[in-house]
DNA sequence: CATACAAAAATTGTTCACAATCTATGTACA
DNA sequence: TGTACATAGATTGTGAACAATTTTTGTATG
């Protein structure tokens, strides 16, 4: 069970979802993927089967693989799960944050602050997401880290479907405050700020108007009925 | 991508792990599985690929599929993740627990109390695990429920490897106290009791003597070196 | 007796062709 | 015009044959 090519496929698909290049409802045709990755169909099928576990790809019998379209219910569950998991991660982060870890966080904030109007949306998304993953890495719980990776992926999908403004990207100011709390060793404050930050994210979604399941053509042509 | 047979395979493998019939390190040969489920090898391979996501099966290239042997580090992460996740689940459970839900919990406790010396170990394990899953169902967060399912599975593996006594099975008395707290509407107490309960589980493992990676033959023949 | 090497068996990985199913297009009819 | 049906095309599902790798077994040698 060779891992290299399948892992590569998985990685690329996941990255595309995180960057919102692949949006909800998109079909991932086997033939198409064979062309992109220039490999056999069997390998594509294995990769798709493995992708199931991340909760962002649905396999529908005789139809194919589709990027998941999260429901409102599911979205709320995802955000609640993030609050539960990131709270514990945050406590661990504070506990493990010595000067090298603090330096790493500060370096990341510098990157986030360097974002300009010219920066691609994908890059901004990647930075926002990365902040949370760095906290998880410093927290050192691999299981929670893996779950958070899945949840941030699903968050990208949700914000891609229902996000209202570009504030859906994590506000850098909030990240900064969290780092300060971590640096100050105040675990409770850091956790509270993080919880608040996640609430902001969740409040930015508007389930009344989903642009997720819209056909690519319809949204591109922008035809008013 | 037909789901039925693959799902059946996945379900059976997962159940066997939960019941500790399949223990850590066991190889799941493709041919062997073909014989058991009387299906084609392609379906077995798909099922194994999907099983990867549950964190209890490792796929090693050119070697095959093996039931994971959790490390000490990983085990601690699993228990910490359970505390994080079940705390939130517990709060939701208290919030959603009306009389039908309470009745369901009580009915389960009756089942657990009916356990005798003749009851099979697998059955006892299933009941213990089921209690936590019922809490998750009442809590109604599907994402957390899915994660808890994985984590209880991994817990079975851990206890199978490093568990010291049969107290590794959830003490029924503790389940009972938790239900009482839920019935009383005291979310904080229920969460605290659950956290305590999980600590008991974790304290029952002894990492110095692993019987997990022991060869099947060696443990069966019980040869003293 | 232990080790090293070589052949054989078993297991996993890969590819291909064919079957089954779904989707889309076109045509007939009310 | 619009609906229903039938055909054609495309896509997914399945199985078997073949290649590559690993594991086991057997043998020879120090």
Residue B208 domain-assigned?
Answer: no
Q: How many CA atoms lie within 13 A of A107 on its CB side?
A: 7
One domain for residues A31 and A127: no
**Domain range for A28:** 4-67
Q: Are residues B56 and B123 in the same domain?
A: no
Average pLDDT, integer, range A75-99: 97
CB-CB under 8 Å, B45 with A143: no
A124 contacts A16 by C-beta, under 8 angstroms: no
Structural domains in chain A (count):
2
- The answer to whether strand D lies under 7 Å from the CB of residue A58 is no
Average pLDDT, chain A: 89
First to last CA, chain B: 50
Chain B neighbors of A146, CB-CB under 8 A = 55
Which nucleotides in chain C have some atom under 7 angstroms from a protein Cβ?
Answer: 10-16, 21-23
Q: Is residue B127 part of a domain?
A: yes
Q: Is A160 in the same domain as A82?
A: yes
What pLDDT score does A218 carry? 39
Which of A18, A48, A67 delimits the end of a domain? Answer: A67
CB B121 within 8 A of CB B23: no
Same domain, A108 and A150: yes
Residue B13: how many CA atoms within 13 Å on its side-chain side? 33
> Last residue of a domain, which of B52, B67, B82?
B67
Domain membership of residue A19 (yes or no) is yes
Q: Establish if A60 belongs to a structural domain.
A: yes
Give the residue from chain B lying closest to A45, CA to CA: B46
- What average pLDDT does this structure show over B77-91? 98
Residue A28, domain CATH: 1.10.10.10
Question: Quick check: is A221 in a domain?
Answer: no
Over residues B156-207, the pLDDT tens digits come to: 999 998 988 655 566 778 999 999 999 999 999 999 999 999 999 999 898 8
pLDDT (tens digit per residue) in A167-203: 556 677 899 999 999 999 999 999 999 999 999 999 9
The domain boundary residue, chosen from A38, A67, A96: A67
Do residue B82 and residue B15 come from a single domain?
A: no
The reply to whether B211 falls in a domain is no
CB–CB contact A64 B147 (8 Å): no
pLDDT tens for residues A97-155? 999 999 999 999 999 999 887 888 888 889 999 999 999 999 999 999 999 999 999 99
Indicate which CATH number applies to the domain containing B108. Answer: 1.20.120.530
What's the token pair of residue A186?
A: 């105040």
In a domain, B224, yes or no: no
More confident residue, B195 or B122: B195
Q: Does a structural domain hold residue B165?
A: yes
Q: Which of A3, A53, A65 sits opposite B53 (nearest CB)?
A: A53
CA distance B67 to B54: 11
CB A45 within 8 A of CB A30: yes
Q: Do A94 and A124 share a domain, yes or no? A: yes
């Amino acid at each position: 069970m060779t891992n290299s090519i399948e892992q590569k496929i998985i990685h690329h698909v996941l990255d595309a979802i995180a960057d919102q290049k692949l949006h909800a409802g998109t079909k991932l045709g086997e033939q198409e993927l064979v062309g992109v990755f220039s490999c056999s169909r069997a390998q594509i099928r294995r990769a798709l089967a493995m992708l199931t576990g991340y909760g962002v790809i649905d396999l529908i019998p005789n139809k194919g693989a589709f990027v998941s379209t999260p429901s409102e219910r599911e979205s709320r569950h995802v955000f609640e799960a993030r609050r539960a998991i990131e709270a514990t991660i945050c406590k661990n982060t504070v506990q493990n944050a010595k000067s090298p870890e603090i330096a790493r966080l500060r370096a990341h904030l510098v990157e986030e602050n360097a974002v300009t109007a010219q920066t691609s949306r994908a890059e901004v998304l990647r930075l926002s997401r990365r902040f949370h993953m760095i906290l998880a890495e410093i927290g050192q719980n691999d299981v929670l880290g893996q779950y958070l990776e899945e949840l941030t992926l699903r968050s990208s999908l949700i914000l891609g479907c229902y996000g209202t403004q570009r504030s859906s990207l994590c506000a850098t100011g909030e990240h900064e405050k969290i780092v300060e709390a971590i640096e100050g060793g105040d675990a409770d404050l850091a956790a509270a700020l993080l919880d608040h930050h996640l609430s902001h994210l969740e409040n930015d979604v508007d389930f009344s108007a989903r642009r997720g399941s819209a056909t690519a053509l319809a949204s591109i042509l922008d035809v008013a009925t």
